[in-house]
Protein backbone atom coordinates (compact mmCIF):
# COMPACT_ATOMS: atom_id res chain seq x y z
CA UNK A 1 0.00 0.00 0.00
CA UNK A 2 2.80 2.35 0.90
CA UNK A 3 4.60 1.67 -2.37
CA UNK A 4 1.47 2.31 -4.44
CA UNK A 5 0.79 5.50 -2.55
CA UNK A 6 4.36 6.62 -3.13
CA UNK A 7 4.08 5.95 -6.85
CA UNK A 8 0.75 7.78 -7.01
CA UNK A 9 2.25 10.70 -5.16
CA UNK A 10 5.22 10.66 -7.52
CA UNK A 11 2.96 10.64 -10.55
CA UNK A 12 0.99 13.57 -9.17
CA UNK A 13 4.23 15.45 -8.52
CA UNK A 14 5.53 14.90 -12.05
CA UNK A 15 2.11 15.71 -13.46
CA UNK A 16 1.99 19.05 -11.67
CA UNK A 17 5.63 19.70 -12.62
CA UNK A 18 5.03 18.97 -16.30
CA UNK A 19 1.92 21.17 -16.40
CA UNK A 20 3.77 23.94 -14.56
CA UNK A 21 6.75 23.82 -16.94
CA UNK A 22 4.49 23.92 -19.99
CA UNK A 23 2.53 26.94 -18.75
CA UNK A 24 5.55 28.76 -17.31
CA UNK A 25 7.69 28.34 -20.44
CA UNK A 26 4.81 29.45 -22.65
CA UNK A 27 4.67 32.74 -20.75
CA UNK A 28 8.44 33.18 -20.63
CA UNK A 29 8.64 32.44 -24.35
CA UNK A 30 6.11 35.16 -25.15
CA UNK A 31 8.07 37.68 -23.06
CA UNK A 32 11.33 36.72 -24.75
CA UNK A 33 9.85 37.18 -28.21
CA UNK A 34 8.26 40.48 -27.20
CA UNK A 35 11.64 41.69 -26.00
CA UNK A 36 13.53 40.33 -29.00
CA UNK A 37 11.18 41.90 -31.54
CA UNK A 38 11.37 45.32 -29.92
CA UNK A 39 15.11 45.32 -29.22
CA UNK A 40 16.51 43.59 -32.29
CA UNK A 41 13.92 44.46 -34.95
CA UNK A 42 13.10 48.04 -33.93
CA UNK A 43 16.19 48.93 -31.83
CA UNK A 44 13.98 49.82 -28.88
CA UNK A 45 15.89 50.39 -25.58
CA UNK A 46 16.21 47.05 -23.80
CA UNK A 47 16.18 48.64 -20.34
CA UNK A 48 12.58 49.84 -20.64
CA UNK A 49 11.47 46.41 -21.85
CA UNK A 50 13.23 44.57 -19.02
CA UNK A 51 12.57 46.97 -16.15
CA UNK A 52 9.10 48.31 -16.99
CA UNK A 53 7.21 46.38 -19.65
CA UNK A 54 7.98 42.86 -18.41
CA UNK A 55 7.29 43.49 -14.68
CA UNK A 56 4.07 45.36 -15.50
CA UNK A 57 2.90 42.66 -17.90
CA UNK A 58 3.66 39.98 -15.30
CA UNK A 59 1.18 41.62 -12.90
CA UNK A 60 -1.68 40.48 -15.13
CA UNK A 61 -0.42 36.88 -15.23
CA UNK A 62 0.13 36.86 -11.46
CA UNK A 63 -3.38 38.11 -10.68
CA UNK A 64 -5.08 35.97 -13.32
CA UNK A 65 -3.44 32.69 -12.33
CA UNK A 66 -4.20 33.31 -8.66
CA UNK A 67 -7.88 33.90 -9.47
CA UNK A 68 -8.05 30.79 -11.68
CA UNK A 69 -6.40 28.83 -8.87
CA UNK A 70 -9.09 30.05 -6.48
CA UNK A 71 -11.84 29.14 -8.97
CA UNK A 72 -10.42 25.61 -9.22
CA UNK A 73 -10.30 25.23 -5.44
CA UNK A 74 -13.89 26.47 -5.23
CA UNK A 75 -15.01 23.99 -7.90
CA UNK A 76 -13.15 21.22 -6.11
CA UNK A 77 -14.98 21.92 -2.87
CA UNK A 78 -18.30 22.17 -4.68
CA UNK A 79 -17.93 18.86 -6.56
CA UNK A 80 -15.90 16.93 -4.00
CA UNK A 81 -13.50 15.83 -6.77
CA UNK A 82 -9.74 15.90 -6.31
CA UNK A 83 -8.92 15.91 -10.02
CA UNK A 84 -10.22 19.40 -10.81
CA UNK A 85 -7.80 21.21 -13.13
CA UNK A 86 -7.51 24.99 -13.08
CA UNK A 87 -7.95 26.89 -16.31
CA UNK A 88 -4.48 27.78 -17.66
CA UNK A 89 -3.92 31.51 -18.04
CA UNK A 90 -1.06 33.40 -19.59
CA UNK A 91 -0.02 35.99 -22.11
CA UNK A 92 -1.86 35.80 -25.41
CA UNK A 93 0.74 34.90 -28.03
CA UNK A 94 -0.90 36.24 -31.24
CA UNK A 95 -1.84 39.62 -29.79
CA UNK A 96 1.50 40.06 -28.00
CA UNK A 97 3.41 39.44 -31.22
CA UNK A 98 0.86 41.54 -33.12
CA UNK A 99 1.18 44.47 -30.71
CA UNK A 100 4.97 44.30 -30.90
CA UNK A 101 4.94 44.40 -34.70
CA UNK A 102 1.87 46.57 -35.34
CA UNK A 103 1.82 48.99 -32.37
CA UNK A 104 5.00 49.29 -30.31
CA UNK A 105 7.52 48.92 -33.12
CA UNK A 106 5.85 51.33 -35.56
CA UNK A 107 5.15 53.81 -32.76
CA UNK A 108 8.82 53.88 -31.81
CA UNK A 109 9.94 54.21 -35.43
CA UNK A 110 7.54 57.14 -35.89
CA UNK A 111 8.30 58.99 -32.64
CA UNK A 112 11.75 57.80 -31.52
CA UNK A 113 10.38 58.41 -28.03
CA UNK A 114 10.81 55.24 -25.97
CA UNK A 115 8.70 56.38 -23.03
CA UNK A 116 5.85 57.60 -25.23
CA UNK A 117 5.93 54.27 -27.09
CA UNK A 118 5.70 52.43 -23.77
CA UNK A 119 2.73 54.58 -22.75
CA UNK A 120 1.06 53.92 -26.12
CA UNK A 121 1.45 50.20 -25.42
CA UNK A 122 -0.10 50.63 -21.97
CA UNK A 123 -2.99 52.65 -23.41
CA UNK A 124 -3.58 50.05 -26.12
CA UNK A 125 -3.69 47.33 -23.46
CA UNK A 126 -6.12 49.47 -21.45
CA UNK A 127 -8.36 49.74 -24.53
CA UNK A 128 -8.12 45.97 -25.04
CA UNK A 129 -9.14 45.39 -21.42
CA UNK A 130 -12.10 47.75 -21.79
CA UNK A 131 -13.20 45.99 -24.98
CA UNK A 132 -12.92 42.62 -23.25
CA UNK A 133 -15.07 43.72 -20.31
CA UNK A 134 -17.81 44.86 -22.69
CA UNK A 135 -17.62 41.84 -25.01
CA UNK A 136 -17.53 39.37 -22.12
CA UNK A 137 -21.26 40.05 -21.83
CA UNK A 138 -21.95 39.57 -25.55
CA UNK A 139 -19.18 37.24 -26.70
CA UNK A 140 -21.56 34.34 -27.32
CA UNK A 141 -23.73 36.55 -29.54
CA UNK A 142 -20.71 37.68 -31.59
CA UNK A 143 -19.70 34.06 -31.96
CA UNK A 144 -23.11 33.27 -33.45
CA UNK A 145 -23.22 36.30 -35.76
CA UNK A 146 -19.67 36.28 -37.21
CA UNK A 147 -18.72 33.25 -39.32
CA UNK A 148 -15.93 31.06 -37.97
CA UNK A 149 -13.84 31.89 -41.03
CA UNK A 150 -14.02 35.59 -40.16
CA UNK A 151 -13.17 35.01 -36.51
CA UNK A 152 -10.31 32.54 -36.93
CA UNK A 153 -9.02 33.50 -40.39
CA UNK A 154 -7.07 36.61 -39.27
CA UNK A 155 -5.59 34.64 -36.37
CA UNK A 156 -4.57 31.88 -38.78
CA UNK A 157 -2.87 34.49 -40.96
CA UNK A 158 -1.02 35.86 -37.95
CA UNK A 159 -0.12 32.31 -36.96
CA UNK A 160 1.28 31.30 -40.34
CA UNK A 161 3.02 34.56 -41.28
CA UNK A 162 3.94 36.44 -38.09
CA UNK A 163 4.40 33.38 -35.85
CA UNK A 164 5.46 30.98 -38.59
CA UNK A 165 7.51 32.81 -41.20
CA UNK A 166 9.13 35.61 -39.16
CA UNK A 167 10.48 33.25 -36.44
CA UNK A 168 11.85 31.04 -39.25
CA UNK A 169 14.20 33.94 -40.05
CA UNK A 170 15.52 33.63 -36.49
CA UNK A 171 16.03 29.88 -36.98
CA UNK A 172 18.33 30.57 -39.92
CA UNK A 173 19.95 33.45 -38.07
CA UNK A 174 21.49 30.78 -35.83
CA UNK A 175 20.96 27.59 -37.85
CA UNK A 176 22.78 25.22 -35.48
CA UNK A 177 20.69 26.39 -32.54
CA UNK A 178 17.46 26.89 -34.48
CA UNK A 179 17.43 23.64 -36.48
CA UNK A 180 18.39 21.57 -33.44
CA UNK A 181 15.58 23.10 -31.39
CA UNK A 182 13.18 22.78 -34.33
CA UNK A 183 14.01 19.10 -34.68
CA UNK A 184 13.35 18.41 -30.99
CA UNK A 185 10.09 20.41 -30.85
CA UNK A 186 8.65 18.97 -34.06
CA UNK A 187 9.73 15.39 -33.30
CA UNK A 188 8.27 15.39 -29.78
CA UNK A 189 5.14 17.52 -30.24
CA UNK A 190 4.13 16.80 -33.84
CA UNK A 191 5.52 13.30 -34.42
CA UNK A 192 4.97 12.28 -30.76
CA UNK A 193 8.42 10.69 -30.49
CA UNK A 194 9.76 10.29 -26.95
CA UNK A 195 12.94 11.65 -25.44
CA UNK A 196 14.88 9.56 -22.89
CA UNK A 197 13.05 9.57 -19.57
CA UNK A 198 10.05 11.17 -21.30
CA UNK A 199 11.57 14.59 -20.73
CA UNK A 200 9.43 17.52 -21.92
CA UNK A 201 10.38 18.35 -25.52
CA UNK A 202 9.88 22.10 -25.12
CA UNK A 203 12.15 22.26 -22.07
CA UNK A 204 14.85 20.16 -23.70
CA UNK A 205 14.73 22.24 -26.90
CA UNK A 206 15.16 25.48 -24.95
CA UNK A 207 17.95 24.13 -22.70
CA UNK A 208 19.92 22.47 -25.52
CA UNK A 209 19.45 25.46 -27.82
CA UNK A 210 20.59 27.88 -25.12
CA UNK A 211 23.69 25.81 -24.32
CA UNK A 212 24.69 25.65 -28.00
CA UNK A 213 24.07 29.40 -28.31
CA UNK A 214 26.32 30.16 -25.33
CA UNK A 215 29.09 27.85 -26.54
CA UNK A 216 29.06 29.39 -30.03
CA UNK A 217 28.79 32.91 -28.62
CA UNK A 218 31.68 32.66 -26.20
CA UNK A 219 33.66 30.86 -28.91
CA UNK A 220 33.38 33.91 -31.12
CA UNK A 221 31.19 32.31 -33.81
CA UNK A 222 28.18 34.62 -33.38
CA UNK A 223 28.90 38.21 -34.54
CA UNK A 224 25.94 39.73 -32.68
CA UNK A 225 26.47 37.75 -29.47
CA UNK A 226 26.13 39.78 -26.30
CA UNK A 227 27.35 38.10 -23.11
CA UNK A 228 24.30 38.01 -20.82
CA UNK A 229 24.44 39.86 -17.55
CA UNK A 230 23.63 37.53 -14.66
CA UNK A 231 22.92 40.44 -12.33
CA UNK A 232 19.41 40.52 -10.90
CA UNK A 233 17.78 43.67 -9.53
CA UNK A 234 14.44 44.56 -8.02
CA UNK A 235 12.01 45.86 -10.64
CA UNK A 236 8.86 46.64 -8.67
CA UNK A 237 5.89 47.59 -10.89
CA UNK A 238 4.45 50.95 -9.91
CA UNK A 239 0.79 51.92 -10.32
CA UNK A 240 0.50 54.93 -12.60
CA UNK A 241 -2.09 56.88 -14.58
CA UNK A 242 0.43 58.84 -16.64
CA UNK A 243 -0.15 56.67 -19.71
CA UNK A 244 -3.67 58.11 -20.12
CA UNK A 245 -2.06 61.27 -21.49
CA UNK A 246 -0.99 59.29 -24.56
CA UNK A 247 -4.59 58.42 -25.48
CA UNK A 248 -4.63 60.76 -28.53
CA UNK A 249 -1.50 59.07 -29.91
CA UNK A 250 -2.98 55.64 -29.14
CA UNK A 251 -6.33 56.06 -30.91
CA UNK A 252 -4.84 55.04 -34.29
CA UNK A 253 -4.32 51.58 -32.78
CA UNK A 254 -7.93 51.18 -31.67
CA UNK A 255 -8.59 49.12 -34.81
CA UNK A 256 -6.00 46.65 -33.53
CA UNK A 257 -7.14 46.70 -29.90
CA UNK A 258 -10.82 45.97 -30.64
CA UNK A 259 -10.38 42.73 -32.64
CA UNK A 260 -7.67 41.40 -30.32
CA UNK A 261 -9.99 41.92 -27.35
CA UNK A 262 -12.98 40.34 -29.09
CA UNK A 263 -11.02 37.34 -30.33
CA UNK A 264 -9.60 36.42 -26.93
CA UNK A 265 -13.07 36.67 -25.36
CA UNK A 266 -14.49 34.33 -27.99
CA UNK A 267 -11.48 32.08 -27.49
CA UNK A 268 -12.21 32.15 -23.76
CA UNK A 269 -15.77 30.93 -24.45
CA UNK A 270 -14.40 28.06 -26.52
CA UNK A 271 -11.82 27.19 -23.86
CA UNK A 272 -14.45 27.19 -21.11
CA UNK A 273 -16.58 24.79 -23.17
CA UNK A 274 -13.51 22.62 -23.73
CA UNK A 275 -12.91 22.49 -19.97
CA UNK A 276 -16.57 21.56 -19.37
CA UNK A 277 -16.30 18.65 -21.80
CA UNK A 278 -13.17 17.52 -19.94
CA UNK A 279 -15.14 17.45 -16.68
CA UNK A 280 -14.49 20.88 -15.14
CA UNK A 281 -17.61 23.06 -15.48
CA UNK A 282 -16.51 26.64 -14.87
CA UNK A 283 -18.88 29.56 -15.33
CA UNK A 284 -17.88 31.29 -18.54
CA UNK A 285 -18.59 34.74 -17.04
CA UNK A 286 -16.02 34.11 -14.27
CA UNK A 287 -13.38 33.03 -16.79
CA UNK A 288 -14.02 35.91 -19.18
CA UNK A 289 -14.20 38.71 -16.61
CA UNK A 290 -10.98 37.46 -15.00
CA UNK A 291 -9.03 37.74 -18.24
CA UNK A 292 -10.62 41.12 -18.95
CA UNK A 293 -9.86 42.68 -15.57
CA UNK A 294 -6.34 41.26 -15.30
CA UNK A 295 -5.51 42.72 -18.72
CA UNK A 296 -6.89 46.06 -17.54
CA UNK A 297 -4.95 45.89 -14.25
CA UNK A 298 -1.67 45.14 -16.02
CA UNK A 299 -1.98 48.36 -18.04
CA UNK A 300 -1.91 50.47 -14.85
CA UNK A 301 1.39 48.84 -13.80
CA UNK A 302 3.21 49.22 -17.12
CA UNK A 303 2.03 46.10 -18.95
CA UNK A 304 1.69 45.96 -22.73
CA UNK A 305 0.38 42.41 -23.35
CA UNK A 306 -3.02 40.95 -22.52
CA UNK A 307 -3.80 37.82 -20.52
CA UNK A 308 -6.11 35.09 -21.75
CA UNK A 309 -7.11 31.52 -20.84
CA UNK A 310 -4.90 29.21 -22.85
CA UNK A 311 -6.14 26.66 -25.33
CA UNK A 312 -5.57 23.13 -24.06
CA UNK A 313 -7.18 22.73 -20.63
CA UNK A 314 -7.74 19.00 -21.41
CA UNK A 315 -4.02 18.66 -22.21
CA UNK A 316 -3.05 20.14 -18.83
CA UNK A 317 -5.54 17.78 -17.22
CA UNK A 318 -3.94 14.80 -18.96
CA UNK A 319 -0.54 15.97 -17.75
CA UNK A 320 -1.85 15.67 -14.19
CA UNK A 321 -2.18 19.36 -13.34
CA UNK A 322 -4.69 20.49 -10.69
CA UNK A 323 -4.59 23.94 -9.12
CA UNK A 324 -0.98 23.84 -7.99
CA UNK A 325 0.46 24.37 -11.46
CA UNK A 326 -1.38 27.68 -11.98
CA UNK A 327 -0.50 28.77 -8.46
CA UNK A 328 3.21 28.11 -8.99
CA UNK A 329 3.15 29.71 -12.46
CA UNK A 330 1.48 32.87 -11.21
CA UNK A 331 3.79 33.22 -8.22
CA UNK A 332 6.98 32.49 -10.16
CA UNK A 333 6.02 34.82 -13.02
CA UNK A 334 5.11 37.58 -10.55
CA UNK A 335 8.07 37.16 -8.21
CA UNK A 336 10.44 36.38 -11.08
CA UNK A 337 9.58 39.66 -12.79
CA UNK A 338 10.10 41.66 -9.61
CA UNK A 339 13.51 40.17 -8.72
CA UNK A 340 14.74 40.24 -12.32
CA UNK A 341 14.60 36.47 -12.94
CA UNK A 342 12.39 36.86 -16.02
CA UNK A 343 14.69 39.53 -17.37
CA UNK A 344 17.57 37.07 -16.86
CA UNK A 345 15.73 34.43 -18.89
CA UNK A 346 15.03 36.99 -21.59
CA UNK A 347 18.71 37.90 -21.75
CA UNK A 348 20.04 34.31 -21.76
CA UNK A 349 17.63 32.29 -23.95
CA UNK A 350 18.18 32.93 -27.69
CA UNK A 351 15.35 33.62 -30.10
CA UNK A 352 16.44 30.75 -32.33
CA UNK A 353 15.75 28.26 -29.51
CA UNK A 354 12.23 29.59 -29.02
CA UNK A 355 11.33 30.18 -32.67
CA UNK A 356 10.24 26.55 -33.30
CA UNK A 357 7.79 26.76 -30.39
CA UNK A 358 6.10 29.78 -31.93
CA UNK A 359 6.16 28.13 -35.35
CA UNK A 360 4.32 25.18 -33.85
CA UNK A 361 1.78 27.50 -32.21
CA UNK A 362 1.32 29.28 -35.54
CA UNK A 363 0.74 25.98 -37.35
CA UNK A 364 -1.84 24.97 -34.73
CA UNK A 365 -3.68 28.27 -35.14
CA UNK A 366 -3.79 27.74 -38.90
CA UNK A 367 -4.92 24.13 -38.53
CA UNK A 368 -7.66 25.12 -36.09
CA UNK A 369 -9.04 27.78 -38.45
CA UNK A 370 -9.40 25.35 -41.35
CA UNK A 371 -10.67 22.58 -39.08
CA UNK A 372 -13.30 24.62 -37.24
CA UNK A 373 -14.63 26.45 -40.30
CA UNK A 374 -16.86 24.49 -42.70
CA UNK A 375 -14.84 22.90 -45.50
CA UNK A 376 -16.53 25.00 -48.17
CA UNK A 377 -15.47 28.15 -46.27
CA UNK A 378 -11.76 27.42 -46.75
CA UNK A 379 -11.41 30.24 -49.35
CA UNK A 380 -12.87 32.62 -46.75
CA UNK A 381 -10.18 31.55 -44.29
CA UNK A 382 -7.46 31.93 -46.92
CA UNK A 383 -8.46 35.47 -47.96
CA UNK A 384 -7.87 36.64 -44.37
CA UNK A 385 -4.15 35.90 -44.84
CA UNK A 386 -3.65 38.59 -47.47
CA UNK A 387 -3.82 41.73 -45.28
CA UNK A 388 -1.52 39.98 -42.78
CA UNK A 389 0.93 39.28 -45.63
CA UNK A 390 0.97 43.00 -46.43
CA UNK A 391 1.74 43.78 -42.80
CA UNK A 392 4.55 41.22 -42.77
CA UNK A 393 6.07 42.72 -45.92
CA UNK A 394 6.01 46.20 -44.39
CA UNK A 395 7.74 44.87 -41.27
CA UNK A 396 10.53 43.37 -43.37
CA UNK A 397 10.82 46.46 -45.58
CA UNK A 398 11.01 48.64 -42.50
CA UNK A 399 14.05 46.71 -41.29
CA UNK A 400 15.84 47.68 -44.51
CA UNK A 401 14.60 51.23 -45.01
CA UNK A 402 15.07 52.31 -41.37
CA UNK A 403 18.83 51.62 -41.01
CA UNK A 404 19.42 53.03 -44.51
CA UNK A 405 17.59 56.24 -43.50
CA UNK A 406 15.43 55.97 -46.61
CA UNK A 407 12.01 57.62 -46.33
CA UNK A 408 9.22 56.09 -48.43
CA UNK A 409 8.56 59.43 -50.14
CA UNK A 410 12.14 59.45 -51.49
CA UNK A 411 11.67 56.18 -53.36
CA UNK A 412 11.15 56.12 -57.15
CA UNK A 413 7.50 56.91 -58.07
CA UNK A 414 6.58 53.31 -58.90
CA UNK A 415 7.99 52.07 -55.58
CA UNK A 416 6.19 54.86 -53.73
CA UNK A 417 2.89 53.63 -55.16
CA UNK A 418 3.73 50.04 -54.24
CA UNK A 419 4.69 51.05 -50.70
CA UNK A 420 1.48 53.10 -50.33
CA UNK A 421 -0.63 50.18 -51.54
CA UNK A 422 1.04 47.87 -49.03
CA UNK A 423 0.49 50.43 -46.28
CA UNK A 424 -3.20 50.84 -47.08
CA UNK A 425 -3.73 47.08 -47.23
CA UNK A 426 -1.79 46.55 -43.99
CA UNK A 427 -3.44 49.23 -41.85
CA UNK A 428 -6.23 47.69 -39.80
CA UNK A 429 -5.29 44.25 -41.16
CA UNK A 430 -7.07 42.29 -38.43
CA UNK A 431 -10.42 44.05 -38.92
CA UNK A 432 -9.94 43.80 -42.68
CA UNK A 433 -9.37 40.05 -42.44
CA UNK A 434 -12.39 39.61 -40.18
CA UNK A 435 -14.66 41.50 -42.61
CA UNK A 436 -13.24 39.88 -45.75
CA UNK A 437 -13.51 36.38 -44.28
CA UNK A 438 -17.07 36.99 -43.10
CA UNK A 439 -18.08 38.57 -46.40
CA UNK A 440 -16.79 35.66 -48.47
CA UNK A 441 -18.27 33.06 -46.09
CA UNK A 442 -21.69 34.71 -46.37
CA UNK A 443 -21.32 34.90 -50.13
CA UNK A 444 -20.42 31.21 -50.41
CA UNK A 445 -23.52 30.33 -48.36
CA UNK A 446 -25.73 32.42 -50.64
CA UNK A 447 -26.39 35.01 -47.91
CA UNK A 448 -25.77 37.81 -50.36
CA UNK A 449 -27.44 40.52 -48.29
CA UNK A 450 -25.16 39.79 -45.34
CA UNK A 451 -22.17 39.82 -47.70
CA UNK A 452 -23.40 43.16 -49.03
CA UNK A 453 -23.68 44.48 -45.46
CA UNK A 454 -20.04 43.47 -44.83
CA UNK A 455 -19.03 45.44 -47.93
CA UNK A 456 -20.96 48.49 -46.67
CA UNK A 457 -19.20 48.23 -43.30
CA UNK A 458 -15.86 48.03 -45.14
CA UNK A 459 -16.80 51.20 -47.05
CA UNK A 460 -17.68 53.09 -43.86
CA UNK A 461 -14.60 51.86 -42.00
CA UNK A 462 -12.28 52.78 -44.90
CA UNK A 463 -13.66 56.34 -44.95
CA UNK A 464 -12.32 56.98 -41.44
CA UNK A 465 -9.23 54.75 -41.49
CA UNK A 466 -10.41 51.93 -39.24
CA UNK A 467 -9.30 49.79 -42.16
CA UNK A 468 -7.10 50.90 -45.07
CA UNK A 469 -5.94 54.09 -43.36
CA UNK A 470 -4.19 56.18 -46.02
CA UNK A 471 -1.86 57.70 -43.40
CA UNK A 472 1.48 55.94 -42.84
CA UNK A 473 0.85 55.87 -39.08
CA UNK A 474 -2.43 54.00 -39.57
CA UNK A 475 -4.37 56.70 -37.75
CA UNK A 476 -8.15 56.88 -37.57
CA UNK A 477 -9.48 60.21 -38.91
CA UNK A 478 -12.63 62.07 -39.96
CA UNK A 479 -13.15 61.62 -43.72
CA UNK A 480 -12.39 65.25 -44.55
CA UNK A 481 -8.98 65.29 -42.86
CA UNK A 482 -6.66 63.36 -45.25
CA UNK A 483 -5.50 65.10 -48.39
CA UNK A 484 -6.42 63.55 -51.69
CA UNK A 485 -9.20 61.17 -52.67
CA UNK A 486 -7.65 57.76 -52.06
CA UNK A 487 -9.89 56.88 -49.10
CA UNK A 488 -12.98 58.02 -51.00
CA UNK A 489 -12.03 55.80 -53.95
CA UNK A 490 -11.57 52.80 -51.63
CA UNK A 491 -14.94 53.44 -49.99
CA UNK A 492 -16.59 53.83 -53.40
CA UNK A 493 -15.08 50.52 -54.49
CA UNK A 494 -16.57 48.74 -51.51
CA UNK A 495 -19.88 50.51 -52.13
CA UNK A 496 -20.05 49.19 -55.69
CA UNK A 497 -19.08 45.75 -54.36
CA UNK A 498 -22.06 45.91 -52.01
CA UNK A 499 -24.33 46.76 -54.96
CA UNK A 500 -22.96 43.84 -56.99
CA UNK A 501 -23.66 41.40 -54.16
CA UNK A 502 -27.15 42.82 -53.63
CA UNK A 503 -28.34 42.67 -57.25
CA UNK A 504 -26.86 39.36 -58.38
CA UNK A 505 -29.04 36.28 -58.15
CA UNK A 506 -27.95 32.78 -57.17
CA UNK A 507 -27.21 30.56 -60.14
CA UNK A 508 -25.35 27.52 -61.41
CA UNK A 509 -22.29 26.99 -63.54
CA UNK A 510 -22.50 23.52 -64.97
CA UNK A 511 -23.36 21.11 -62.19
CA UNK A 512 -21.68 23.13 -59.45
CA UNK A 513 -23.90 25.25 -57.27
CA UNK A 514 -22.20 28.56 -56.69
CA UNK A 515 -24.44 29.83 -53.90
CA UNK A 516 -26.09 27.75 -51.23
CA UNK A 517 -29.53 28.81 -50.15
> Which range (11-15, 339-343, 484-488) has the least confidence?
11-15
pLDDT of residue 30: 86
Least confident interval from 301-305, 313-317, 403-407: 403-407
In the chain, pLDDT over 90 holds for what percent of residues? 39
Q: What is the mean pLDDT of residues 259-270?
A: 79
Query: Do residues 467 and 435 touch, judged by C-beta distance below 8 A?
Result: yes
Q: How much is the pLDDT for 513?
A: 47
Sign for the CA dihedral angle at 19, 25, 26, 28 comes to positive
pLDDT of residue 312: 67
The residues spanned by each domain of the chain are 12-373, 377-503
pLDDT mean over 451-479: 90
What does the alpha-carbon distance between residue 353 and residue 288 come to, in Å, rounded to a whole number?
32
Average pLDDT in the 466-495 region? 89
pLDDT band of 346, cuts 50, 70, 90: confident
Mean pLDDT lowest among 42-46, 196-200, 420-424: 196-200
| DSSP state at residue 141 | H
User: Which of 209-218, 245-254, 315-324 tops mean pLDDT?
Assistant: 209-218
Predicted local distance difference test score (pLDDT) of residue 116? 93
- pLDDT at position 14 is 65
DSSP letters along 65-108, please?
Answer: HHHHHHHHHHHHHHH--S---PPPEEE-HHHHHHHIIIIIHHHH
Under DSSP, is residue 485 helix (H, G, I), strand (E, B) or coil? Answer: coil
Q: What is the tens place of the pLDDT at every residue in 155-180?
A: 788 889 988 898 899 899 999 999 99
Integer Cα distance of 354 and 360 in angstroms:
10
- The CA-based dihedral angle spanning residues 425, 427, 432, 433, taken in that order and rounded to the nearest 10 degrees: 80
What integer pLDDT is reported at residue 259 of this predicted model? 77
Question: Which residue(s) pair with 508 in the sheet?
Answer: 513
Question: What would the pLDDT profile of 75-132 be if each residue is shown by its tens digit?
Answer: 999 988 888 999 999 998 878 888 888 889 888 988 889 999 999 999 999 999 998 9
pLDDT in tens, 368-426: 789 888 999 999 999 999 999 998 898 888 777 766 777 788 888 888 999 999 999 99
Give Cα separations from 218 to 130, 214, 227, 229 (angstroms).
Answer: 47, 6, 8, 13
Q: DSSP string of 286-340?
A: HHHHHHHHHHHHHHHTT--S-EEEPS-HHHHHHHT--SHHHHHHHHHHHHHHHHT
Q: What is the pLDDT of residues 9-29, one digit of tens each?
A: 445 666 788 788 878 888 888
- The predicted structure's pLDDT at residue 383: 97
DSSP 476: -
How far is C-alpha 438 from the geometric centre of its chain's CA atoms? 21
- Using pLDDT thresholds of 50, 70 and 90, give the confidence band for residue 510: very low
Q: For residue 492, is pLDDT > 80?
A: yes
What's the average model confidence in pLDDT over 230-254? 83
Q: Is the pLDDT assigned to residue 517 strictly greater than 50?
A: no
- Check the CA dihedral 103-105-106-108 and report its sign: positive
Q: Where are the alpha helices (DSSP H) in 164-227?
A: 166-173, 175-185, 201-218
pLDDT of residue 403: 67
Question: Residue 47 burial by CB count (10 A; 0-12/13-18/19+): exposed, middle or buried?
Answer: exposed
Task: Check pLDDT > 90 for residue 493.
Answer: yes
Give the residue-averaged pLDDT of 34-53. 86
pLDDT in the model for residue 119: 95
Average the pLDDT over 59-83 and give the result: 93
**According to the model, what pLDDT value does residue 437 have?**
95
Which of 164-168, 243-247, 513-517 has the least mean pLDDT?
Answer: 513-517
pLDDT of residue 402: 67
Q: Angle at the Cα of 196 (from 190 to 199), degrees rounded to 5?
A: 65
pLDDT of res. 2 = 39
pLDDT, residue 388, reads 92
Highest mean pLDDT among 192-196, 352-356, 452-456, 465-469: 452-456
pLDDT at 511: 44
What local confidence, expressed as pLDDT, does residue 6 receive?
42
Amino acid sequence: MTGNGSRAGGNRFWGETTAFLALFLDNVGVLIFLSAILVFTFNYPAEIVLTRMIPGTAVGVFCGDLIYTWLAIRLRKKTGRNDVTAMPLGLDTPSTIGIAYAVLGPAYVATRDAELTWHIGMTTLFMIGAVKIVTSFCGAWLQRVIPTAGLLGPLAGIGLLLLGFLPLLDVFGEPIVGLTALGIVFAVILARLELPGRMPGVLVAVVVGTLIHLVLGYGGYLPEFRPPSLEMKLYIPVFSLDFIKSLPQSLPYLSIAIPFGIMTIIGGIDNTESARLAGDAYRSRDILLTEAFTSLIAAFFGGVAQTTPYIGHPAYKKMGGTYWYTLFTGVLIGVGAVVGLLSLFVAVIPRAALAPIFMFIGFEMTRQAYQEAPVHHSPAVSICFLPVAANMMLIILGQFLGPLAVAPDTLPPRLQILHQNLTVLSNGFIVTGLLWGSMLAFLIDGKKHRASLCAVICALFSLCGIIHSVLPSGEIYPPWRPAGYAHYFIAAGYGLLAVVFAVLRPGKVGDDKIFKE
